[in-house]
Amino acid sequence: MAAPEIPVVCVIGDGGLYMTPLGCLETARVHASKHSKSSLTVLVLENQAYGMIEYGAKYIYKVPDILSKLEFGSYSTEKFSRFQGTAQSFGFTTRKVTAARDLGKILSTCVNTPGLHLVECPLDYTEADKILAS
What does the pLDDT look like over 101-123, one tens digit per residue? Answer: 999 999 999 999 999 999 998 88
Total domains in the fold of the chain: 1
**27 inside domain:** yes
What would the mean pLDDT of 47-64 be, rounded to a whole number?
A: 69
- Residue 122, pLDDT score: 85
Domain residues for 29? 8-133
- The residue among 41, 50, 49, 38 whose CA lies nearest residue 2 is 38
CA dist., res. 55 & res. 83, Å (int): 23
Q: What is the torsional sign of CA 53, 99, 104, 88?
A: negative
**3 inside domain:** no
Domain with 31 in it: what CATH number?
A: 3.40.50.970
Which bin fits 73, alpha (ψ -120 to 50), beta or left (φ > 0)? left
- Residue 106, pLDDT score: 97
Confidence at 132, pLDDT banded by 50, 70, 90: low
Main-chain dihedrals φ then ψ at residue 41, nearest 5 degrees: -120, 130
**76 inside domain:** yes
pTM, two decimal places: 0.76
- The residue among 86, 104, 100, 96 whose CA lies nearest residue 120 is 96
**2 inside domain:** no
